[in-house]
């Protein structure tokens, strides 16, 4: 009688990687990036994404290699603002290539993982952390001068996940508008960074004022002096003020940051000045 073939041994159960191993993989994958910078704010709608997109574009225009990671599950905006909405990153067996947007900016947005802009993500914190770890291990950024992380409002899961999973973050830029409601929320973000030892690069006062295009009169629509006050109270730099510019929303909706869409505008000049301060700070 023929001997029965031995049953194949059960597949070896692979142990899940330890936290140290995960961190090592992320560190290895991000080692070609010089400056990792997060853009955050306690409040929504104050212009974090607009600042990220415009700053990325100004830096790219000046010849820096720039990537943007949109870590906003609930309101990802970078794909639209950087002109790559509807495109998909190429996923290969060895990694995922980000999409190349306006001015050569490498973009990865959580919007790429969703079927359309209206589909909500209903995920709890740990899943968001896992997604961040997976993406940071697998996205092939290559060598970059800057990788900007656009965050959702507040100091919740996403901000904490970045703080705990991204090694060597160069610093945080906090964005506020001049209203008291916004400044109070932004001060929380500042305290959050201090508690987690994330260096504060400075505060940007967005929608600082509106300059009438006809008579030049300036109206401080949301109040006055918030950026200066936060900078003083929290001992951080005021990186700059950006006017409320109706063209900005229109241009970003079309996927065109101000340096491309309205290169001579006052808001473009503000972003250029902010980029210069940032470069000086990092040099
Ligand atoms: N300085 C500005 N002037 C005009 N519109 C702006 C300005 N900053 C941001 N916006 C617009 O306001 C809206 C909210 O900004 P967004 O960057 O999405 O806010 P956040 O990311 O903080 O939630 C967007 O449509 C954006 O284009
Ligand atoms: Mg946003």
Asked if 136 and 103 count as a contact pair (C-beta separation under 8 A), the reply is: no
> Is residue 114 assigned to a domain?
yes
pLDDT band at 171; cut points 50, 70, 90: very high
pLDDT of residue 180: 87
CA 192/CA 113 separation, integer angstroms: 29
Other beta carbons less than 10 A from residue 215's beta carbon:
7
- Banded pLDDT at 16 (limits 50, 70, 90): confident
Residue 13 domain flag: no
Most informative mutation of 48, 49, 50, 255 for ligand 1 (most atoms within 8 A of CB)? 50
Say if 259 falls within a structural domain.
yes
Average pLDDT, the chain: 91
Which ligand is closest in space to the CA of residue 209?
1
The reported pLDDT for the residue numbered 40 is 92
Assess if residue 211 is contained within a domain.
yes
Q: What pLDDT, on a 0 to 100 scale, did the predictor assign at position 166?
A: 93
Please give the distance, rounded to the nearest whole angstrom, from the Cα atom of residue 39 to the centre of ligand 1.
13
Alpha-carbon distance 9 to 128, whole Å? 35
What pLDDT digit, counting tens, does each position of 57-98 carry?
999 999 999 999 999 888 889 999 999 998 989 888 889 999
Rounded to 10 degrees, the C-alpha dihedral 251/255/261/265 comes to: 50
pLDDT of residue 116: 79
Strand 66-70, strand 200-205: pairing: unpaired
Report residue 184: phi and psi, to 5°: -60, -45
CATH (domain of 80): 3.40.50.300
Residue whose CB lies within 8 A of the most ligand 1 atoms, among 248, 255, 266, 267, for a mutation test: 248
> Is residue 3's pLDDT more than 70?
no
How remote is the CA of residue 6 from the centroid of ligand 2, in Å?
58
- Mutate which of 249, 256, 269, 274 for ligand 1? The one with the most ligand atoms within 8 Å of its CB, which is 249
Give DSSP secondary structure letters for 5-26. Answer: PPPPPPPPPPPPPPHHHHHHHH
Q: Is the CB of 50 under 6 A from ligand 1?
A: yes
Q: Check pocket membership of 81 for ligand 1, CB cut-off 6 A.
A: no
What's the mean pLDDT in 180-193? 89
Q: Which structure tokens are listed for 280?
A: 């000086």
What is the number of the ligand 1 atom nearest to the C-alpha of 175?
22
Residue numbers of the domain that contains 180: 20-282
8 assigned to some structural domain? no
b/e burial code for range 242-268 (CB count within 10 A of at least 16 → b): bbbbeebeebbeebbbbbbbbeebebb
Ligand 1 within 6 A of 40 CB? no
Model pLDDT for residues 111-141, shown as the tens digit of each residue: 888 777 787 777 777 888 898 999 999 999 9
pLDDT band at 2 (very low <50, low <70, confident <90, very high): low
Residue 207 lies in a domain: yes
| Cα–Cα distances in angstroms (integers) from residue 154 to residues 109, 160, 239, 249, in the given order | 19, 10, 20, 22
Residue 1 has pLDDT above 60, yes or no: no
Residue-level pLDDT at 35: 97
CA distance 216 to 60: 31
pLDDT at 160 over 90: no
Q: Would 11 be classed as within a structural domain?
A: no
Residue nearest to atom 8 of ligand 1 (CA): 47
Helices (H), the chain: 19-29, 48-61, 78-81, 125-138, 157-165, 180-195, 226-233, 246-253, 258-261, 266-282
Residue with the smallest CA separation from ligand 1 atom 14 is 45
Q: Report the domain count for the chain.
A: 1
Nearest ligand, measured from the Cα of 75: 2
The pLDDT of 183-193, averaged and rounded, is 89
Whether residue 132 lies inside any domain: the answer is yes
Q: Is the pLDDT of residue 226 over 60?
A: yes
């Amino acid at each position: 009688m023929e001997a029965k073939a031995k049953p194949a041994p059960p597949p070896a159960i692979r142990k899940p990687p330890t936290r140290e191993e995960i961190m090592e993989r992320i560190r290895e994958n991000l080692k070609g990036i010089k400056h990792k910078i997060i853009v955050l704010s306690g409040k929504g709608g104050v212009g974090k994404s607009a600042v990220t997109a415009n700053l990325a574009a100004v830096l790219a225009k000046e010849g820096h290699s720039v990537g943007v990671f949109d870590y906003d599950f609930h309101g990802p905006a970078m794909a639209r603002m950087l002109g790559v909405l509807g495109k998909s990153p190429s996923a290969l067996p060895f990694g995922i290539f980000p999409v190349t947007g306006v001015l050569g900016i490498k973009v990865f947005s959580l919007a790429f993982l969703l079927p359309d802009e209206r589909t909500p993500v209903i995920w709890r914190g740990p899943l968001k952390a896992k997604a961040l770890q997976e993406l940071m291990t697998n996205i092939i950024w290559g060598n970059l001068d800057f990788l900007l992380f656009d965050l959702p409002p507040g100091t919740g899961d996403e901000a904490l996940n970045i703080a705990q999973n991204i090694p060597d973050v160069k610093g945080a830029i906090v964005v506020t508008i001049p209203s008291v409601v916004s400044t109070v929320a932004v001060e929380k973000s500042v305290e959050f960074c201090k508690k987690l030892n994330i260096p504060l690069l400075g505060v940007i006062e967005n929608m600082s004022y509106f300059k009438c295009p006809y008579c030049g009169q300036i109206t401080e629509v949301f109040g006055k002096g918030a950026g200066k006050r936060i900078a003083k109270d929290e001992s951080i730099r005021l990186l700059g003020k950006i006017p409320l510019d109706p063209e900005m929303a229109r241009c970003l909706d079309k996927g065109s940051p101000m340096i491309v869409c309205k290169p001579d505008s006052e808001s473009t000049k503000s972003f250029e000045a902010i980029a210069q301060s940032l470069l000086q700070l990092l040099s």
